Amino acid sequence: MSAMRADELEIVEEEDPELNEQQFESRTPWRLAWRRLKKDRVAMVSLGFIVLLILVSLFAPLLTALIGHGPNAQYTTKGLSLSGIPVGPGHNGFLLGTDDQGRDVLSRIIYGSRISLEVGIGATFLALFLGVVVGLFAGYYGGFLDSVLGRFMDILLSFPILLLAIAIVARFGPSLGLLIFVISLFSWPYIGRLVRGQVISLREREFVEAARALGASDLRIMFVEIAPNLIALAVIYATLLIPVNIVTEATLSFLGLGVQPPTASWGNMIAEAQTGDLFTVAWWFLVFPCVALVLTTLAFNLLGDGLRDALDPRYGRSHISAARKVRRAFRLRRTLPEPEPVEAKA
Amino acid sequence: MTVAGGGATSRAEGTDELLLDVDDVVKHFPVSGGALDRSHAAVKAVDGVSFSLRAGETLGLVGESGCGKSTLARLVTALHPVTSGHVRFKGQDITSLNRRQLRPLRRSMQMVFQDPYGSLNPRRRVGSILSDPFSVHEHLSRAEVRRRVQELMARVGLSPEHYNRFPSEFSGGQRQRIGIARSLALRPSLIVCDEPVSALDVSIQAQILNLLEDLQAEFMLTYIFIAHDLSVVRHVSNRIAVMYLGKLVETGPTEEIYLSSRHPYTASLLSAVPVADRAFRSERRERIILTGDVPSPVDPPSGCRFHPRCPKAQALCAVQEPVLERKPGDFDGHLTACHFPVVAGEALANASRQTTAVSGSGPAEAVNP
């Protein structure tokens, strides 16, 4: 009996790994994440919206030329009624109507998306760069350097951002570059703290010890060994930080400290629309920029949540209904959610 | 199981060249009890360990979890600084060197880690992980690095075409092969294996052990082989060192330790090795069951550290610490740290029953087959 078993065992040969080559080839961490993301309908719709938005902002001049209305052109005869009331959506070729000065709301929203994305993505990338570098050093070296950098981040986070931003913009005068700088200045500590926490757990891993045993330098360990394990975290929180920064830009523009009129930005469009009481009869030129802002913010938030699920499947939130995801994203997210550990394990 | 076979006798004995000399090495990890706590407690992970290793030898380091085996490995490879003592590698004291000075030495001193999942970076491709040794120490062209990496992969039994895969696409055994390939890349003379097979299936363990053995013969490697599986250690080692609570309690040639261990702790460890084959059971000694747990290394027992659990302990053991020395009748190189070493044929299980009865800690659990 036992002899027979032994014979059977010997017959069983190791499976030829080449047979599975096709299947194996696609099992990289990123491909697996993409496969999971593709199953998430909410995230895919959001991704589609964001791609569309990026295309729209890239081809803004082309689109407005097709529409036939420049963003700053005032159509005093065609765009305003005799009594000076803006033309409603769909009239006289204005798809989303006109504003109080007879300008095409659609064209202005299209041009406004450029500002929103430029500031939102630009400030986020700057914040990401600063946050990852500072977080890496603070987390890897620990001790005194960590205390100094940690306190510095805490101080920045404890500032009333709006007040300080107003002061800085008032001192240097509003410009797009300054806007990006100010917004990233106050958002990088979020990334920095998250990265720091992640690095503290990563630096104890055996692969870091293995690198040390090989004689690798600190910089090499930080940027070759640890940094690749931060990409997932960085992608997720960058996606969640973009809408926060877009809203901050809109807020500053609303307060007159961001993008200056007549250049269109969603923030200053909303601000201009609600200065008079014209919006009580012509709701469209207040509502449509708001809708654009809300949809964009929502799309980035939902995509960020989907990315988190895809890159770290242990959260296993795929069972949550689409409706609940949207409701959850609607909760006003002025700050980033609490740092959640994103394990580096594939 | 094949690993338990008598492979040890066929192994090449070491040469006369002294490769590694560990001299009274101590490692204490301070326990911080908050800013106001001035007690300065420390975990005495390694507390005065000395041994030496000749080129081509394999030293098996055994002991329970938490006895300081892994810490000792990291002291030998200079991954942790020592609290006191000296480690001399090829005659050079490595404990006083800084990182820059250590770097050239890293080429000839490598480590294989226990966890084949944790020791490979999950976000890097295997080809990139294996090219690390070359990019840290040598300036080679990309093509040359790639050629060497694929050569390495082939040598440890991996398909070189899998160069672009991530660690998650390999099995545990394959990953350990990657870890071995990485340690082998720079042709070191000493490889410290920190429980290289304990995370693997038994069938895979044998493959990895055979690979390590082949590599030793091919590249004239010296191993320090850490394990808690005594049958594995017996298979690979020329010499064995037994650790208990940060100290060496017995060291000597493998067969000598297995056939005539002198320290009661070694004897009890050996009696716990399960034997699958009925035919071998008769020649085994009776089983010695130790009572109690391993004491805390923060506050180790006085005198002989094993005395609270030792079946042969007497009053002297609690007062005076035994030195590691050759006992009468033993071969050269068989050292034991015990006041009352075990004599051949002595029944330790009975002694154990007596002591437990005296201390009143419940009925003796000694089982005679």
CATH number, domain containing residue A143: 1.10.3720.10
Domain boundary among B254, B274, B305: B254
Are B273 and B170 found together in one domain?
no
Are B69 and B198 found together in one domain?
yes
Are B73 and B99 found together in one domain?
yes
CB A210 within 8 Å of CB B111: yes
Report DSSP letters for B57-78, one per residue. Answer: -EEEEE--TTSSHHHHHHHHTT
Query: Residue A273 falls within a domain, yes or no?
Result: yes
CA B351 distance to own-chain centroid: 29
- Chain B residues with CB under 8 Å of a chain A CB are 77, 79, 102-103, 106-107, 110-111, 113-115, 117-124, 132-133, 136-137, 159, 162, 165-169, 179, 182
C-alpha neighbours within 13 Å on the C-beta side of residue A80: 15
**Which tens digit of pLDDT belongs to each residue from A147-175?**
999 999 999 888 888 888 888 888 888 88
Q: What total of structural domains would you count in chain B?
A: 3
Residue at B270: amino acid letter: L
Are B137 and B268 found together in one domain?
no
Structural domain for A245, as ranges: 115-330
SS3 of B93, please? strand
Residue at A146: amino acid letter: D
Domain boundary among B254, B276, B299: B254
Of the candidates A18, A27, A206, the beta carbon closest to that of B113 is on A206
Give me the pLDDT at residue A58, please.
92
Give me the pLDDT at residue B16, please.
65
Query: Residue B368 falls within a domain, yes or no?
Result: no
Question: Looking at beta carbons, which residues of chain B come within 8 Å of A12?
Answer: none
Sign of CA pseudo-dihedral A327, A328, A331, A334? negative
Query: Residue A132 falls within a domain, yes or no?
Result: yes
Domain boundary among B254, B269, B297: B254
Mark yes or no for CB contact A231/B111 under 8 Å.
Answer: no
DSSP A249: H
Q: How far is B71 from chain A (nearest CA, A)?
A: 13
Could you tell me which residues come within 8 angstroms of residue A190 by beta carbon, excluding any fewer than 6 positions away? Answer: A127, A131, A157, A237, A241, A335, A336
Of the candidates A27, A205, A215, the beta carbon closest to that of B118 is on A205
In which element (H, E) is residue B315 found? helix B315-319
Mark yes or no for CB contact B119/A207 under 8 Å.
Answer: yes
Count of all residues that appear for chain A in the document:
346
Give me the pLDDT at residue A130, please.
94
Give me the pLDDT at residue A45, please.
92
In which element (H, E) is residue B110 found? strand B109-112
CB A215 within 8 Å of CB B106: yes
Are B247 and B213 found together in one domain?
yes
Are B81 and B152 found together in one domain?
no
Mark yes or no for CB contact B159/A215 under 8 Å.
Answer: no
Alpha carbon of B190 to those of A308, B99, B361: distances in Å?
43, 19, 46
Full-model pTM: 0.77
Structural domain for B85, as ranges: 2-30+42-121+180-254
CB A155 within 8 Å of CB A216: no
Give me the pLDDT at residue A323, please.
66
Are B103 and B247 found together in one domain?
yes
Mark yes or no for CB contact A214/B79 under 8 Å.
Answer: no
Query: Residue B110 falls within a domain, yes or no?
Result: yes
Query: Residue B352 falls within a domain, yes or no?
Result: yes
- Chain A residues with CB under 8 Å of a chain B CB are 17-18, 24, 27-29, 205-207, 209-216, 220, 224-225, 228-229, 231, 344-346
Q: For tokens 């490598």, name the residue.
A: B110
Mark yes or no for CB contact A209/B159 under 8 Å.
Answer: no
Are B145 and B199 found together in one domain?
no
Q: Copy the structure tokens of residue B125.
A: 């491709």
Are B126 and B110 found together in one domain?
no
Are B191 and B90 found together in one domain?
yes
Q: How far is A190 from chain B (nearest CA, A)?
A: 24
* Cα angle B164-B188-B254, degrees, rounded to a multiple of 5: 115
Mark yes or no for CB contact B121/A231 under 8 Å.
Answer: no
Q: Is the peptide bond before A160 cis (omega within 30 degrees of 0)?
A: no
Nearest alpha carbon to residue B110 among B221, B13, B232, B21? B221
Are B139 and B185 found together in one domain?
no
Query: Which of B101, B123, B184 is most worth mutating to test chain A (most A CB atoms within 10 A of its CB)?
Result: B123
Query: Residue A198 falls within a domain, yes or no?
Result: yes
- From first to last of its 369 residues, what are the pLDDT tens digits of chain B? 333 333 333 344 555 678 899 988 999 888 765 555 555 678 888 988 999 899 889 999 998 888 888 899 999 999 988 999 999 998 889 888 888 888 888 989 999 998 888 899 988 889 999 999 998 888 888 899 999 999 999 999 999 888 888 888 888 889 999 999 999 998 999 999 998 888 888 888 988 999 999 999 999 899 999 988 888 888 889 999 999 998 999 999 998 888 888 898 988 888 877 766 666 555 555 677 777 777 888 888 888 888 888 888 888 888 888 888 888 877 778 899 988 888 776 666 655 444 443 343 334 344 343
Are B238 and B195 found together in one domain?
yes
Q: How far is A298 from chain B (nearest CA, A)?
A: 30
Could you tell me which residues come within 8 angstroms of residue A94 by beta carbon, excluding any fewer than 6 positions away? Answer: A69, A75, A79, A87, A104, A105, A106
Query: Residue B128 falls within a domain, yes or no?
Result: yes
Query: Residue A260 falls within a domain, yes or no?
Result: yes
Give me the pLDDT at residue B359, please.
41
Query: Residue B365 falls within a domain, yes or no?
Result: no
CA-to-CA distance for B235 and B194, rounded, in angstroms?
Answer: 16
Q: How far is B127 from chain A (nearest CA, A)?
A: 14
Report DSSP letters for A260-306, one per residue. Answer: PTTS--HHHHHHHHTTSSGGGT-THHHHHHHHHHHHHHHHHHHHHHH
Mark yes or no for CB contact A209/B137 under 8 Å.
Answer: no
Helix and strand totals (H; E) in chain B: 11, 12
Question: Looking at beta carbons, which residues of chain B come within 8 Å of A206?
Answer: 113-115, 118-119
Q: What total of structural domains would you count in chain A?
A: 1
Give me the pLDDT at residue A146, please.
92
CA-to-CA distance for B278 and B280, rounded, in angstroms?
Answer: 5
SS3 of A94, please? strand
Low-confidence ranges of chain A (pLDDT < 50): 1-25, 316, 332, 334-346
Query: Residue B37 falls within a domain, yes or no?
Result: no
Of the candidates B103, B120, B168, the beta carbon closest to that of A215 is on B103
CA-to-CA distance for B332 and A240, rounded, in angstroms?
Answer: 69
Q: Cite the DSSP H helix spans in chain A.
A: 2-11, 21-25, 29-39, 41-58, 60-67, 105-141, 143-158, 161-172, 176-202, 206-213, 218-220, 231-254, 266-273, 284-311, 322-330
DSSP B22: E
Query: Residue B367 falls within a domain, yes or no?
Result: no
Query: Residue B188 falls within a domain, yes or no?
Result: yes
